[in-house]
Amino acid sequence: MIELKSSEQIELMARAGAVLARLYEVLPGEVRPGRTTEDLDRFAEDFIRDHAGATPAFKGLYGFPATLCTSVNEEVVHGIPSTQRVLREGDVLSVDCGVKLDGYFADAAITVPVGEISTGARRLLEVTDAALARGIEAAVPGARLGDIGAAIQEGARDEGYGVVRDLVGHGIGREPHEEPQVPNWGRRGRGLKLSAGLVLAIEPMFNLGTASIRTLADEWTVVTADGSISAHFEHTVAITEDGPRILTTVPGNATAAVA
Ligand code: MG
Ligand code: MG
């Protein structure tokens, strides 16, 4: 069942989203060679809990043990923070995080460079982030889910990147994952008709190589099958009569959440 949100509910989700956006304003400054993914996880958990009522939404969700998913290089999503995972110059780090506040969830992801990264890696990050922006632009009342997916997919196709198809975006609200599924591919004019009040987590995952992925023996970490690096960007977006509204942003600072 798809639950459309009232403007009051969307405001509550924006409060959760603002906590996440503020985290993403400062977290990239904590990412540098020599730090562990566990260091970042502790930083993020403390940051979120410093906001009254806010809790890390992923910790304990389906049994996930941490505040952040930290996925390095060929890891696509759901990497588990670890004291053993030391970041190195040239790595790319995807961070995915959820915040729950006053009963509502927000979900967002960024991929950040560790020190200097290769030109090819930097391009992958830029193109994936830009594809998210185009997907968000397509999220308007009367459009279709396929319009979002097509807009995202076109960005990858021009570069020859693999678009991960086995993982998708999703509705979000009082639950971290709600209907509908939001694929990162599609055909314009196809799929569910978008209505004001629909709130979606839109989250392209692009691989430098093929689209194929597999899950490691820890049963969480998803990696590219060919070992190529991967990028992931995500926002929680409300479809309103005035167009798409990014909820995972700092109020009055609309561009801040896009790293
Ligand atoms: Mg996420
Ligand atoms: Mg998500």
User: What tens digit of pLDDT does each residue of 38-51 get?
Assistant: 999 999 999 999 99
Over the stretch 116-158, which tens digit does the pLDDT of each residue have? 999 999 999 999 999 999 999 999 999 999 999 999 999 999 8
Say how many C-beta atoms besides its own lie within 10 A of residue 226's C-beta.
14
Task: Say if CB 170 and CB 96 are below 8 A apart.
Answer: no
**Spacing, Cα 51 to ligand 1 middle (Å):** 20
Nearest to 202 by CA among 222, 182, 220, 228: 182
Q: What is the pLDDT of the chain when averaged over all its residues?
A: 96
Over the stretch 160-214, which tens digit does the pLDDT of each residue have? 999 999 999 999 999 999 999 999 999 999 999 999 999 999 999 999 999 999 9
- Six-digit token pair at 235? 């926002």
pLDDT confidence of 252, banded at 50, 70, 90? confident
**Spacing, Cα 230 to ligand 1 middle (Å):** 15
* Domain count within the chain: 1
pLDDT at 257 over 50: no
CATH number at residue 207: 3.90.230.10
User: What angle (nearest 5°) sits at the alpha carbon of residue 83, between those of residues 223 and 72?
Assistant: 25
Ligand with an atom nearest the CA of residue 98:
1
pLDDT at 3 over 70: yes
**Spacing, Cα 222 to ligand 2 middle (Å):** 14
pLDDT confidence of 11, banded at 50, 70, 90? very high
Decide if 1 is inside a domain: no
Pair type for strands 169-171 and 178-182: antiparallel
Measure the CA–CA gap between 91 and 74, rounded to whole angstroms: 10
pLDDT confidence of 1, banded at 50, 70, 90? confident
Decide if 252 is inside a domain: no
Q: What is the mean pLDDT of residues 202-228?
A: 97
Say how many C-beta atoms besides its own lie within 10 A of residue 207's C-beta.
26
**Spacing, Cα 173 to ligand 2 middle (Å):** 11
**Spacing, Cα 191 to ligand 1 middle (Å):** 22
DSSP collapsed to 3 states, the chain? CCCCCCHHHHHHHHHHHHHHHHHHHHHHHHCCCCCEHHHHHHHHHHHHHCCCCCEECCCCHHHCCCCEEEEECCEEECCCCCCCCECCCCCEEEEEEEEEECCEEEEEEEEEECCCCCHHHHHHHHHHHHHHHHHHHCCCCCCEHHHHHHHHHHHHHHHCCEECCCCCEEECCCCCCEEEEECCCCCCCCCCECCCCCEEEECCEEECCCCCEEECCCCCCEEECCCCCEEECEEEEEEECCEEEECCCECCECCCCCC
Decide if 259 is inside a domain: no
Say how many C-beta atoms besides its own lie within 10 A of residue 174's C-beta.
14
pLDDT confidence of 259, banded at 50, 70, 90? very low
Ligand with an atom nearest the CA of residue 78:
1
Which pLDDT belongs to residue 251? 87
Decide if 258 is inside a domain: no
Decide if 87 is inside a domain: yes
Over the stretch 18-39, which tens digit does the pLDDT of each residue have? 999 999 999 999 999 999 999 9
Query: What is the domain extent for residue 77?
Result: 7-246
Over the stretch 83-112, which tens digit does the pLDDT of each residue have? 999 999 999 999 999 999 999 999 999 999
**Spacing, Cα 39 to ligand 2 middle (Å):** 23
Ligand with an atom nearest the CA of residue 172:
2
Decide if 114 is inside a domain: yes
Decide if 135 is inside a domain: yes
**Spacing, Cα 55 to ligand 1 middle (Å):** 15
Ligand with an atom nearest the CA of residue 94:
1
Residue 33's φ and ψ, nearest 5 degrees, are -55, 140
**Spacing, Cα 36 to ligand 1 middle (Å):** 20
Enumerate residues 6+ apart whose C-beta is below 8 A from 118: 90
Decide if 253 is inside a domain: no
Ligand with an atom nearest the CA of residue 176:
2
